[in-house]
């Protein structure tokens, strides 16, 4: 295929995506978009990811997008009733972060905060609404050690109403949502790896079908995302502005995707289109092979493609980038061993303006997604049987030299210890200690060290 044909093919994909989106979102008020699924408060599963998963904080695999991780959670929500079934979520957080950076400067802060949110049951079995407020307040934060993303610039605390939305139940399997709330997909998600998450102003539809009695599970979602509130912000801004477009350029993002899971196989794809800004396509497949009792081997592959669109207002010129990756995991009793490889190409670095980066070698500090960069990862984790809720893991990622002059190869080593108390008086308390060491292969051999201590508490829901 010649260069002109390739450019036309890429340009046609967003138009196809928008036509599909139009067919998924009828114009009648009774059949428009739906909501994410996770509870309104910031108690996302990513914050409590056990060793049985190698998913990093702030990431959303596509087979966990468009709805709750557990199909039964979706069904239970659809059966709740209005005020008597109003569901409150409260989470308390404290987070300490200390980072010694490549240039010998330091970012350090300790914050206290959390979230309070509610979601009603369904009035007349059709309509519910919800809201969530978030806060992060300084316990410690020298002004000359700014930049942890636990607090606003200047080490200032903040409080924000991050979610307020209405949700329509079109049927037991399909929901429409209008308003401001959190969402979880690979390139548009909460990125909930600090004190508060991203939230979005959007109109969306989501569906979850099957998944019971051995049937295949189908998930889909689509909608229009107009604005984003970044993690430490109190304001919603245009999706184009947040992506880095020049002042005054305001564009939203159309998204459409789905995932099918049948037994140990799953495959999904999603496209994000912002007119004159960027188009991002992502696909991922997984297949698991049970080898013996408590022994399973899983393979996964992913592909991302990013291109400029329309008048190319994001950078004033055309660009393209892509990355593919593969991952193999072996689960045996409480242990999980992982190996992954990624390779980025094109003419620029990969971008993730509205999410954590979904690459298999994206870890605590580095994403390993620069133009021309190749990276491999080894990871080992263990969930203790003798201490319920306790787990540990360690990983190593080695990256190659990227294309851009002045960028250097890096490698990163991470350690993680976590304990989520499952019962007793402290049930709902999670303690997590994370440490990362990054070595940059420059003439000076500069290093980065990143230490994080997180304590989250989810009181019993009421």
Contact 136/195 with Cβ under 8 angstroms?
yes
Mean pLDDT of 421-426: 90
Cα 215 from chain centre:
27
Mean pLDDT of 252-265: 97
Instruction: Pick the closest to residue 192 from 227, 149, 222 (CA basis).
Output: 149
Digit-coded pLDDT (tens) for 57-75: 777 777 777 666 565 665 5
pLDDT of the residue at 460: 82
pLDDT of the residue at 49: 52
Mean pLDDT of 241-270: 96
- Report the percent of the chain where pLDDT is more than 70: 84
Report the alpha-carbon distance of residue 60 to residue 359 in Å, rounded: 10
Residue 417 has pLDDT above 70, yes or no: yes
Residue 167 has pLDDT above 50, yes or no: yes
Say how many C-beta atoms besides its own lie within 10 A of residue 88's C-beta. Answer: 14
Contact 243/351 with Cβ under 8 angstroms?
yes
pLDDT of the residue at 36: 32
Mean pLDDT of 270-295: 96
Q: Report the DSSP pairing between strands 335-346 and 217-229.
A: unpaired
- Let me know if 147 is exposed, middle or buried by CB neighbors in 10 A (0-12, 13-18, 19+): middle
Digit-coded pLDDT (tens) for 126-162: 999 999 999 999 999 999 999 999 999 999 999 999 9
Report the alpha-carbon distance of residue 391 to residue 417 in Å, rounded: 6
Digit-coded pLDDT (tens) for 369-404: 999 999 999 999 999 999 999 999 999 999 999 998
Contact 62/219 with Cβ under 8 angstroms?
no
Give residues with Cβ within 8 angstroms of 22, minimum separation 6.
Answer: none
Residue 34 has pLDDT above 70, yes or no: no
Digit-coded pLDDT (tens) for 208-245: 999 888 899 999 999 999 999 999 999 999 999 999 99
Average pLDDT, the chain: 87
- Please give the DSSP secondary-structure letter assigned to residue 459: P
Q: How many residues does the chain have?
A: 462
Mean pLDDT of 419-441: 95
pLDDT of the residue at 219: 95
Specify which of 10-14, 25-29, 394-398 reaches the highest per-range mean pLDDT: 394-398
Q: What architecture is domain 3-457?
A: Beta Barrel (2.40)
Instruction: Pick the closest to residue 355 from 391, 313, 306 (CA basis).
Output: 306
Residue 437 has pLDDT above 80, yes or no: yes
- The model's confidence at residue 28, banded by pLDDT at 50, 70 and 90, is very low
């Amino acid at each position: 295929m010649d260069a002109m044909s390739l450019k036309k093919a890429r340009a046609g994909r967003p138009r196809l995506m928008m036509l599909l989106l139009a067919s998924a979102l009828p114009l009648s008020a009774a059949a428009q978009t739906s909501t994410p699924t996770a509870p309104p408060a910031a108690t996302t599963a990513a914050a409590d990811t056990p060793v049985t998963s190698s998913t990093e904080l702030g990431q959303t695999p596509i087979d966990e997008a468009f709805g709750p991780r557990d199909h039964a959670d979706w069904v239970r929500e659809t059966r709740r009733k209005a005020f008597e079934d109003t569901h409150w979520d409260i989470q308390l957080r404290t987070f300490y972060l200390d980072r010694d950076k490549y240039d010998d400067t330091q970012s350090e802060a300790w914050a206290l905060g959390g979230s309070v949110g509610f979601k009603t049951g369904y009035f007349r079995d059709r309509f519910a609404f919800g809201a969530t407020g978030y806060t992060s307040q300084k316990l410690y934060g020298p002004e000359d050690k700014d930049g942890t993303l636990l607090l606003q610039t200047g080490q200032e605390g903040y409080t924000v109403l991050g979610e307020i939305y209405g949700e329509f139940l079109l049927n037991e399997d399909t929901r429409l949502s209008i308003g401001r709330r959190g969402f979880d997909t690979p390139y548009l998600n909460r990125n909930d790896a600090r004190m508060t998450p991203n939230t979005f102003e959007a109109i969306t539809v989501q569906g979850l079908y099957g998944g019971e009695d051995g049937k295949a599970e189908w998930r889909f979602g689509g909608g229009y995302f107009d604005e984003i509130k970044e993690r430490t912000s109190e304001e919603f801004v245009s999706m184009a502005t947040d992506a880095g477009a020049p002042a005054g350029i305001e564009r939203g993002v159309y998204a459409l995707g789905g995932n099918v899971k049948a037994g140990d196989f799953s495959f999904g794809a999603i496209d994000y289109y912002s007119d004159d800004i960027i188009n991002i396509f992502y696909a991922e497949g997984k297949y698991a092979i049970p080898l013996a009792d408590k022994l399973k081997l899983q393979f996964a592959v992913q592909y991302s493609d990013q291109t400029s669109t329309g008048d190319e207002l994001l950078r004033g010129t055309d660009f393209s980038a892509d990355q593919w990756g593969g991952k193999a995991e072996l689960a045996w009793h409480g242990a999980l061993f992982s190996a992954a490889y990624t390779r980025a190409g094109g003419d620029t670095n990969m971008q993730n303006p509205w999410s954590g980066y979904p690459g298999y070698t994206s870890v605590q500090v580095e994403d390993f997604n620069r133009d021309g960069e190749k990276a491999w990862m080894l990871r080992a984790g263990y969930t203790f049987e003798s201490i319920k809720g306790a787990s540990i893991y360690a990983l190593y990622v080695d990256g190659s030299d990227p294309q851009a002059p002045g960028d250097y190869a890096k490698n990163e080593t991470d350690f993680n210890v976590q304990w989520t108390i499952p019962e007793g008086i402290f049930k709902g308390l999670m303690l997590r200690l994370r440490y990362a060491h990054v070595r940059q292969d420059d003439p000076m051999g500069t290093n980065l060290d990143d230490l994080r201590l997180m304590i989250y508490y989810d009181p019993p829901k009421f």
